[in-house]
Chain A
Amino acid sequence: MASIPPKPENPLHLHTTKLTLGCPILDSFLGGGIPCGSITELVGESSAGKTQLCLQLLLSSLLPPSLGGLSSPSLYIYSEPPFPLRRLLRLSLPSLPPRPLDHIFVRPAHSADDLLSLLSHLPDSLPVRLIIIDSIAALFRSEFDNTPRDLKSRSSLFFKIATKLKDRARKLGAAVVVTNHVVDVVEAECGGARCLWSSGRRVVPALGLAWSHCVNTRVFLTRSEGMVRSSNGEECEVRTRRMHVVFSPCSPERSCEFAIVGHGVLGVG
């Protein structure tokens, strides 16, 4: 069987395009933005801001490259219906093209197999350059028991899904963003994953060690509450949101504070 020998590439020509998060502080925190061609995972507990960030990315991908966008439509795959349309409508970014909602494709996924089949049947001609899966954890919640055999077949599904996503990311030059939930740490050992504190709980990303190997960048969103004495002597509650880079091919571990305001997610600092 005659085949074309594989050709090496020259890293000098392998510039990684980055997608802006819509805020310069968050962009520089992530080394320029969300990288294209690999999978970025946003992990956090409920209401940490994962979906809000994803919706913001749906809009920023419509910006022209000069403003950090990809000038392309995006695909939003959601596993926890309904699609947050109202929250999307409240977001805004300067310099968006007219009728931005026309360029956002939305599709529900009901299970891991459904997602796999969806990804396999994406037409090559679909011009999306941002694929979001919100959330990956919900697809695996009910179907698998804690037996070694089920865990193995679940882990095999992770790699199949990750392979398809990375394949799409590479072929389309797309950014892939996946959101994940957290679980409380039960044992003394975190089992390889390093834990973070969120809302006073010690937590690790869901789906375990195997799934950690499937993503290229992991960003942890945490919340903490504390009491602060205000200028008139009253004690008031202050909620801090932080974004942590747990691992990334192009930026060191660090964290930065952010806030969710009416029209979007912004970095603080």
Chain B
Amino acid sequence: MEISCLPISASHRAKLLSAGYTTLSSLSSVSPPQLSHLNVALQEAVDILKVSSESCRVEVQDGAVEFCKGAQTAWDMLSEEQALRHISTGSGDLDSILGGGIHCKEVTEIGGVPGIGKTQLGIQLAINVQIPYDFGGLGGKAIYIDTEGSFMAERAYQIAEASILDTFDNFGCQLKEIPEKLKAESFLANIFYFRICSYTEQIALINYLDQFLVEHKDVKIVIIDSVTFHFRQDFDDLALRTRVLGGMSQKLMNLAKKFSLSVVLMNQVTTKFTEGSFHLTLALGDSWSHSCTNRVILYWNGNDRYAYLDKSPYLRPASVHFSVTGKGIRDATSQCKRVRMM
């Protein structure tokens, strides 16, 4: 069925058609935030998708051939529902400036100076993605690609234990007997850990992920910590580096959309000489800054850790104070914490 036949307003129809959505099936895996890129309000986008999926169901009665168009498997439906959930960072304040947490189907870049907490946040996300569906999480598995060697299993275990306890606390469960699958050991076993030692290994692994994800459909987050490290050595041909990075980011974006998972990339900072003075900026150059849907910058403000939402398709820039504790990433405990909207 064509978009042109959908009972929606003419201006919405025109926007969909000019963006390349011509059939109902092309809308079947689109989420409201993605439609809102087309200058459509979020609520209107939700309505459009609702109308389109209802039209699909009506079509089913038109015969066996039409049956396949727009129909979904139950797995797809569960995936879509999971995709609308966000992955909590462990800090409620940080989650709120991110619109609930890290989004699926999108690539989020997290940059900051050494020691600010990028790896800690990466490990926290690899654990929190596994929080069971019944407890508000995604119940998914994680892929952790370590290029710098900062992943320590003992720390991941500590974070897993704390996250499980806090989840149970939040839901007021009695901790008489924690089921096997909710022990910290299982959480660790659900992280597929890859250690990468060169940029060619990094490219090869990202190319292989498509096949891996087909075999492991329960992976809901791919973390690369850091995506930058192996690219900061001399590439004799800078244009080659830009091409390689561009190809890599395109692949990652496609993986995020195809498998409805979130991709989180850690980036380093560098000093750039502009307008007569040195500024701190994220590494990998200007062309890389277009590669991610969302960008969060972690920085120090005195002795406090702050996170700044620098880029998002539909959220306002804002910064928030958070902390790294023995339990992992958590809200800041000081009384003077506040969320600053820019």
- Kindly list chain A residues whose C-beta atoms are within 8 Å of the C-beta of B152: 16, 35, 249-250
What 13 new A-B contacts, CB under 8 Å, besides A11-B151, A156-B233, A163-B197? A9-B193, A9-B195, A10-B189, A11-B153, A12-B189, A15-B153, A16-B152, A38-B149, A159-B229, A160-B233, A193-B113, A209-B280, A212-B113
B168 within 8 A of A: no
Q: Which of B113, B195, B204 contacts A170 (CB 8 A)?
A: B195
How long is the Cα–Cα vector from A252 to B270 in the complex, in angstroms?
24
How long is the Cα–Cα vector from A170 to B196 in the complex, in angstroms?
10
How long is the Cα–Cα vector from A253 to B113 in the complex, in angstroms?
15
Residues of B within 8 A of A (CB): 113-115, 119, 143-144, 148-156, 185, 188-189, 191-195, 197-198, 201, 204-205, 208, 211-212, 228-230, 232-234, 268-271, 273, 278, 280, 300, 324, 326
Residues of A within 8 A of B (CB): 3, 5-6, 8-12, 14-16, 35, 37-39, 148, 153, 155-156, 159-160, 163, 166-167, 169-170, 191-194, 208-210, 212-213, 215-216, 218, 246-247, 249-250, 252-253
Closest 7 CB pairs of A and B: A247-B115, A8-B192, A14-B153, A192-B113, A11-B153, A250-B152, A38-B149
**How many whole Å from B217's CB to the nearest CB in chain A?**
15
Ordered by A's residue number, 5 sampled pairs between the chains whose C-beta atoms are within 8 Å are A5-B208, A163-B233, A191-B280, A194-B300, A249-B151
Residue of B nearest to A32 (CB): B154
Establish whether residues B270 and A210, one from each chain, have CB atoms under 8 Å apart when the complex forms: yes
How long is the Cα–Cα vector from A163 to B208 in the complex, in angstroms?
23
Establish whether residues B278 and A191, one from each chain, have CB atoms under 8 Å apart when the complex forms: yes
How long is the Cα–Cα vector from A194 to B268 in the complex, in angstroms?
16
**How many whole Å from A11's CB to the nearest CB in chain B?**
4
Residue of B nearest to A217 (CB): B150
Residue of A nearest to B234 (CB): A156
How long is the Cα–Cα vector from A252 to B278 in the complex, in angstroms?
30
With most chain B CB atoms within 10 A of its CB, the pick from A15, A209, A253 is A209
- Kindly list chain A residues whose C-beta atoms are within 8 Å of the C-beta of B278: 191
**How many whole Å from A214's CB to the nearest CB in chain B?**
8
- Kindly list chain B residues whose C-beta atoms are within 8 Å of the C-beta of A10: 188-189, 191, 193
- Kindly list chain A residues whose C-beta atoms are within 8 Å of the C-beta of B194: 6, 8-9
- Kindly list chain B residues whose C-beta atoms are within 8 Å of the C-beta of A249: 119, 150-152, 155
- Kindly list chain B residues whose C-beta atoms are within 8 Å of the C-beta of A156: 232-234
How long is the Cα–Cα vector from A147 to B126 in the complex, in angstroms?
41
Residue of B nearest to A194 (CB): B300
Q: Which of A169, A210, A212 contacts B232 (CB 8 A)?
A: A210
How long is the Cα–Cα vector from A252 to B113 in the complex, in angstroms?
16
**How many whole Å from A159's CB to the nearest CB in chain B?**
5
Q: With A170-B195, A193-B113, A209-B270 as given contacts, are A37 and B232 in contact (CB-CB < 8 Å)?
A: no
Establish whether residues B205 and A6, one from each chain, have CB atoms under 8 Å apart when the complex forms: yes
Establish whether residues B280 and A192, one from each chain, have CB atoms under 8 Å apart when the complex forms: yes
Q: Which of A8, A11, A38 contacts B188 (CB 8 A)?
A: A11
Q: With A194-B300, A209-B271 as given contacts, are A247 and B233 in contact (CB-CB < 8 Å)?
A: no
- Kindly list chain A residues whose C-beta atoms are within 8 Å of the C-beta of B300: 194
- Kindly list chain A residues whose C-beta atoms are within 8 Å of the C-beta of B148: 166, 216
How long is the Cα–Cα vector from A155 to B280 in the complex, in angstroms?
15
- Kindly list chain B residues whose C-beta atoms are within 8 Å of the C-beta of A6: 194, 201, 204-205, 208
- Kindly list chain A residues whose C-beta atoms are within 8 Å of the C-beta of B228: 213
Residue of B nearest to A212 (CB): B114
- Kindly list chain B residues whose C-beta atoms are within 8 Å of the C-beta of A218: 114-115
How long is the Cα–Cα vector from A167 to B148 in the complex, in angstroms?
10
